[in-house]
Amino acid sequence: MRLLRSTVITHLTKPFSVVSSRHNNKFIMSNFSIPRLVAKKVLAKSQGEGDGAVVRRSIGRPELKSLDPFLMLDEFSVSPPAGFPDHPHRGFETVTYMLEGGITHQDFNGHKGTIRAGDVQWMTAGRGIIHSEMPAGPGAQKGLQLWINLSSKDKMVEPNYQELLKDDIKCAEKDGVKVKIIAGESMGVKSPVFTRTPSMFLDFTISPGAQMHQPIPESWNSFVYILEGEGLFGSMDSSPISAHHVLVLSHGDGLSVWNNGSKPLRFVLIGGQPINEPVVQYGPFVMNTQAEIQQALLDYQQCKNGFEMAKHWRSQ
């Protein structure tokens, strides 16, 4: 996915398990020593992106420019002939998680494939990639795309892919709480995904009357993005929050969520270890200095230092 506008952003900056419970007209309080609360709430508003696509951007908008190590989160909807045609990346990772339909990806190194509802592609752009992401069928193709920064030592690694089909993603379920473990660990179940920047990416569905309590490393930044329904996040005294909101969480050792509504609540819980390095971003290039951004632009324009294949490649 590409960012068409130019932005410059500068930063100076227990084992995972989940306790879940279905109540009988009462909730169990969180037992975390420092519960994570909602520090900031932002509604993801629709905007155009790519070539005719529509995204709800939550991280990467003026109200929430970034959350170290996360650079962007889009909930996208794209129907043919719209899409995300050939575009470059350098210096970070993209995680694409399909919710409905499918997206066909191809790049200038010959990698090509389609991910469908429930599938995940974890792409390390590293020193450089040019690729396209286009709808794989008629109608709206929907999903999430997360951008995760890489530390300075990893920004120029070779590009790499980790792709998990729906049936390969580990799941756990207990007392009205279901979780798909895309990265990290929950309910004692670990994902096989390797994260260069230590991260967790969990897809929870909580039935009406159920609750969950998920540990999060205290030093990590974390947030929730609500996909469906509404729930109480962090505190039983809080007000219900509904779909399409991103919730930045305060620091603590875990998050508690309660669903006292009549419909299922679905959200992703994402966390990561802050990199605490300067970040300079120009569209799809994310480096540590302005000079490195200028070099990335030059490399892309001159098809060198990772972009050699760009000279003759066009997606089909």
- What domains are there in the chain, each with its CATH number? 38-107+135-302 (2.60.120.10)
The answer to whether the annotation marks 87 as part of a ligand binding site is: yes
The answer to whether the annotation marks 11 as part of a ligand binding site is: no
Peptide bond into 264 cis (omega under 30): no
State the Cα–Cα distance between residues 233 and 255, nearest whole angstrom: 7
Q: How buried is 158 (Cβ within 10 angstroms: 0-12 exposed, 13-18 middle, 19+ buried)? A: exposed
Peptide bond into 81 cis (omega under 30): yes
pLDDT recorded at residue 10: 40
The answer to whether the annotation marks 251 as part of a ligand binding site is: no
pLDDT recorded at residue 6: 37
pLDDT recorded at residue 88: 96
pLDDT recorded at residue 180: 98
pTM assigned to the model: 0.91
Q: What is the pLDDT of residues 175-192, one digit of tens each?
A: 999 999 999 999 999 999
pLDDT recorded at residue 238: 94
DSSP string computed for the chain: ----S-------------EEEE-SS--PPP--SSB--EEEEEE-EEEEETBTEEEEEEETBTTB--BTTEEEEEEEEE-TT-BEEEEEEBSEEEEEEEEESEEEEEETTS-EEEEETT-EEEEE-TT-EEEEEEESSSS-EEEEEEEEE--TTTTTSPPEEEEE-GGGSEEEEETTEEEEEEESEETTEE-----SS-EEEEEEEE-TTEEEEEE--TTSEEEEEEEESEEEES-TTSPPEETTEEEEEPSSSEEEEE--SSS-EEEEEEEE----S--EEETTEEESSHHHHHHHHHHHHHT-TT-GGGGT----
The answer to whether the annotation marks 312 as part of a ligand binding site is: no
pLDDT recorded at residue 106: 95
- Confirm if 48 and 5 have CB atoms less than 8 A apart: no
Q: Over the chain (316 residues), what is each successive 10-residue block's mean pLDDT? A: 44 42 52 93 93 93 96 96 94 98 94 96 96 95 98 97 95 98 97 95 98 97 98 96 98 96 97 98 97 97 93 86
Q: Which amino acid is at 64?
A: L
pLDDT recorded at residue 27: 55
Q: What is the pLDDT of residues 23-48, one digit of tens each?
A: 444 555 667 999 999 999 999 999 99
